[in-house]
């Protein structure tokens, strides 16, 4: 620099800066050691060997939540931000110095996955701030503890270990976790504890949590699962019925998985197994009292004693109620009498029958109402093939459409009756095994099986006989007729009223009219069937056989005339 003849104050400052400039610039951005020369109010005056001193707030020398203990003459590390500011003073920072030193240390510890010590000193959105010896880190709320913590105040302002999860020096971001330290510690404790446990060991624990499927029991640092099926031999619908949180229970270790550190516990294993000797205690066909514990769509479970349940399948619940939900037959907690159908000790299953412990209504009906007896009941349902009638003992009998009425078609007979109507019928057949009762209604009419029968007995009619009958009813399909006054009734079809079509008109007959007809057989209800046509053909054959042949030259009129004349003489 050139020599100035009369230097001014500015020229002198320029000369000083020139002489010290290189050294001063080397100080900026570095951490240096300075000496406290004075303490003024809340500021510490520090000399770091520059042309001017710097002032640093005392709070930067104090740990979070504490006061600064600083006196004149102390040596401290500070960060030189600028050699000189607008006031001619050096800009120093204790926080920045601590932060730079802390970052250097933390980067090494983060690389080696070491734990670091820090102090929680503030609360921010989503978590807390932690002082790591000068560097400020973020502690997310989810990383404070293993379980959610309602009050964090007891954890603040105390030194404790943390694990660094993430670091970015360029952005100045550090994320730490306290939970990771606790989980690691707990894992070490669990590993040590699980090694001391053995399957079959009986131990006491405290119920920590109850769920729908069981309860978690604290065994002194490690949790075991007590499944709902292992609480008791008797049915437990929910663990809360037997256990409560905080209760001390005695359990047996059933299984230990040392890899996953899972422990299965049991309580019922400490009790005697009620299934021992169950087959001898509950023999097949034995009848016992039980209590309904659960109802499903496929049946009901009945408890015979605590720990032993049997299933009554829906098909074994009632003799008469078919295809109904079990809940409409029994109710939960109801005391019922059941019969043992099958016992499987290995599978721990018992099949029960509810209806088998009751009287079979079909047997009862067959004893009280033999075939041929008369019954009365209400029409429960009408189908395309007959009527179902409710009978004694809550059983149903069926009247086939052909057994409803004489002289009408099945469809017409069905239309004569309606649901809810009370009718009378005759028992035709009872099949106990198939649970079927066949009834007949038309058999109660005059001349039916009960009234005298068409079986060839007294007042009966044999096939091929010619009987004098009286017209009871004229219908489009034929005539209802009766033999004698109290004889059996029968039917003559329209086509059997004569050989010629003109003779096959039912309207040419009147009620009360009498004529001869031949018995041709019986219908399904064993009532006789008659035919005028068959009688005419039979008489013609007899006449031809006695008085001539068809090729003798005599006419049919001559033959029949001769036959009638001979019959009259006799």
pLDDT one-digit tens code per residue, 194-230: 777 888 888 888 998 889 889 999 887 788 899 998 8
One domain, residues 440 and 368: yes
| Half-sphere CA count of 184, side-chain side, radius 13 A | 11
For residue 93, tell me if it sits in a domain.
Answer: yes
> Would you mind telling me the total number of residues written for the chain in this entry?
570
Instruction: Give the tokens for residue 201.
Output: 């060991």
Residues 385 and 395 placed together within one structural domain of the fold:
yes
334 and 372, same domain (yes or no): no
Q: How far is CA 517 from CA 454, 472, 566, in A?
A: 15, 14, 21
| Angstrom distance (rounded) from CA 471 to CA 508 | 11
Average pLDDT, the chain: 80
Same-domain status, 301 and 334: yes
Pair 130, 137: CB distance under 8 Å? yes
For residue 502, being part of any structural domain is answered with: yes
- Please give the structure tokens belonging to residue 431: 């099949």
Task: Say if residues 326 and 314 touch (Cβ distance below 8 Å).
Answer: yes
**Is residue 567 domain-resident?**
no
Residue in the structure block whose two tokens are 């009734």: 489
Task: Report in angstroms the alpha-carbon separations of 209 from 183, 217, 375.
Answer: 19, 7, 66
Mark which of 270, 298, 327 sits at the end of a domain.
270
Query: Helix or strand or coil: residue 381?
Result: strand
- Residue 564 domain-assigned (yes or no): no
pLDDT score of 33: 79
pTM for this prediction: 0.43
Q: Are residues 438 and 367 in the same domain?
A: yes
103, 145: one domain: no
- Verify that 344 and 380 share a domain, yes or no: no
- Residue-level pLDDT, tens digit, the chain, 570 residues: 445 556 665 555 555 455 444 445 556 656 677 787 888 777 777 777 777 777 777 776 776 666 667 777 877 777 776 666 656 566 776 667 777 777 888 888 888 888 899 999 999 998 999 988 778 899 999 998 888 888 888 888 889 999 999 988 888 889 999 998 888 877 777 777 777 788 888 888 899 888 988 999 988 778 889 999 888 888 888 898 889 888 899 999 888 887 777 889 999 888 888 888 888 888 988 999 999 999 999 999 998 888 888 999 998 888 878 788 999 889 988 999 999 999 888 888 899 999 888 888 888 888 888 888 889 999 988 888 889 999 888 888 999 988 888 767 778 888 888 888 888 899 988 888 888 899 988 888 654 433 333 333 334 567 788 889 999 999 988 999 988 877 788 889 998 998 888 888 999 999 989 999 998 877 766 678 899 988 888 888 887 777 655 444 455 555 555 555 655 554
CA distance 383 to 403: 14
CB 25 within 8 A of CB 35: no
Alpha carbon distance 302, 306 (integer Å): 11
Give the contacts of 113 (CB within 8 A, at least 6 positions apart): none
For residue 89, what are the contacts with CB-CB under 8 A and spacing of at least 6?
52, 53, 54, 55
Check which CATH number belongs to the domain holding 434 and give it.
2.40.50.140
SS3 label, residue 43: strand
- With tokens 């069905």, the residue in question is 414
Q: Are residues 131 and 108 in the same domain?
A: no
Residues 365, 440, single domain; the answer is yes
Same domain assignment for residues 410 and 420: yes
Going by C-alpha positions, the residue among 238, 243, 237 that lies closest to residue 267 is: 243
Q: With the C-alpha atoms ordered 213, 218, 221, 224, is the resulting torsion angle positive or negative?
A: negative
- Residue 14 CA to residue 409 CA, distance in Å, equals 137
Q: Which of 190, 208, 309 is nearest to 251 (CA)?
A: 208
Distance between CA atoms of residues 536 and 518, nearest Å:
9
What pLDDT is attached to residue 175? Answer: 94
- Is there a single domain that holds both residue 502 and residue 540? yes
Kindly give the interhelix angle for 532-547 and 556-569, rounded to the nearest 10 degrees. 90
- Whether 520 maps to a domain, the answer reads yes
CA-angle at 563, arms to 562 and 569, nearest 5° = 90
Range of the domain at 108: 34-112
The residue from 270, 287, 315 where one domain ends is: 270
* Rounded CA separation 479/495 (Å): 11
Rounded distance, CA 367 to CA 359, Å? 12
Count: domains in the chain: 6
**For residue 125, is it within any domain?**
yes
452 lies in a domain?
no
Hunting for tokens 């004698």 — which residue is that? Answer: 484
Question: How far out from the chain centre does Cα 428 lie?
Answer: 47
From 221, 244, 270, the end of a domain falls on 270
189: in domain:
no
- Helix (H) / strand (E) element for 98: namely helix 94-111
395 shares its domain with 366: yes
420-466 pLDDT per residue, tens: 888 889 998 888 888 889 998 888 865 443 333 333 333 456 778 88
């Amino acid at each position: 620099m050139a020599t100035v003849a009369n230097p001014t104050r500015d020229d002198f400052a320029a000369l000083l800066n020139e002489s010290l400039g290189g050294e001063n610039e080397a100080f900026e951005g570095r951490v240096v050691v300075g000496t406290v020369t004075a303490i003024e109010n809340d500021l510490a005056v520090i000399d770091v060997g520059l042309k001017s001193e710097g002032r640093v707030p005392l709070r930067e020398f104090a740990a979070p939540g504490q006061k600064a203990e600083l006196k004149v003459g102390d040596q401290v590390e500070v960060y030189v931000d600028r050699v000189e500011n607008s006031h001619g003073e050096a800009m120093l920072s204790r926080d920045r110095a601590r932060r730079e030193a802390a970052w250097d240390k933390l980067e090494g510890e983060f690389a080696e996955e070491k734990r670091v010590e820090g102090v929680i000193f503030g609360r921010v959105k989503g978590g807390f701030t932690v002082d790591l010896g000068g560097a400020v880190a973020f502690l997310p709320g989810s990383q404070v503890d293993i379980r959610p913590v309602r009050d964090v105040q007891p954890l603040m302002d105390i030194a404790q270990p943390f694990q660094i999860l993430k670091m970015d020096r360029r952005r100045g971001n550090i994320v730490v976790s306290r939970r990771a330290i606790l989980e690691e510690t707990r894992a070490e404790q669990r590993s040590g504890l699980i090694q001391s446990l053995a399957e079959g060991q009986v131990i006491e624990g405290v119920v920590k949590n109850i769920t729908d499927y069981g309860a978690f029991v604290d065994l002194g640092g490690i949790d075991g699962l007590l499944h709902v099926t292992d609480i008791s031999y008797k049915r437990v619908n929910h663990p809360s019925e037997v256990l409560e949180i905080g209760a001390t229970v005695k359990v047996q270790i059933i299984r230990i998985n040392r890899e996953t550190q899972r422990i299965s516990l049991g309580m019922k294993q400490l009790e005697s197994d009620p299934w021992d000797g169950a087959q001898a205690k509950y023999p097949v066909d034995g009848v016992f009292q039980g209590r309904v514990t659960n109802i499903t769509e496929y049946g009901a479970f009945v408890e015979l004693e605590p720990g032993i349940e049997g299933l009554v399948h829906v098909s074994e619940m009632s003799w008469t109620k078919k295809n109904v939900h079990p809940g409409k037959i029994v109710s939960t907690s109801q005391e019922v009498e059941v019969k043992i159908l099958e016992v499987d000790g290995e599978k721990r299953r018992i099949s029960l029958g509810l209806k088998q412990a009751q009287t079979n209504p079909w047997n009862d009906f067959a004893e009280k109402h033999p075939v041929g007896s008369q019954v009365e009941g209400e029409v429960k349902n009408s189908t395309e093939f007959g009527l179902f009638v409710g009978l004694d003992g809550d059983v149903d009998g069926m009247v086939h459409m052909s057994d409803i009425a004489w002289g009408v078609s099945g469809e017409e007979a069905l239309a004569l009756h309606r649901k809810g109507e009370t009718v009378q019928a005759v028992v035709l057949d009872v099949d106990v095994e198939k649970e079927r009762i066949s009834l007949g209604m038309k058999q109660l009419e005059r001349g039916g099986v009960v009234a005298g029968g068409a079986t060839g007995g007294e007042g009966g009619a044999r096939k091929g006989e010619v009987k004098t009958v009286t017209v009871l009813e004229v219908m489009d399909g034929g005539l209802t007729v009766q033999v004698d006054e109290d004889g059996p009734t029968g039917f003559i079809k329209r086509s059997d009223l004569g050989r010629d079509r003109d003779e096959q008109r039912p309207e040419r007959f009147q009620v009360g009219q009498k004529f001869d007809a031949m018995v041709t057989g019986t219908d399904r209800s064993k009532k006789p069937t008659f035919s005028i046509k068959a009688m005419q053909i039979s008489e013609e054959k007899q006449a031809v056989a006695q008085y001539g042949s068809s090729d003798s030259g005599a006419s049919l009129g001559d033959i029949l005339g001769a036959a009638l004349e001979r019959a009259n003489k006799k």
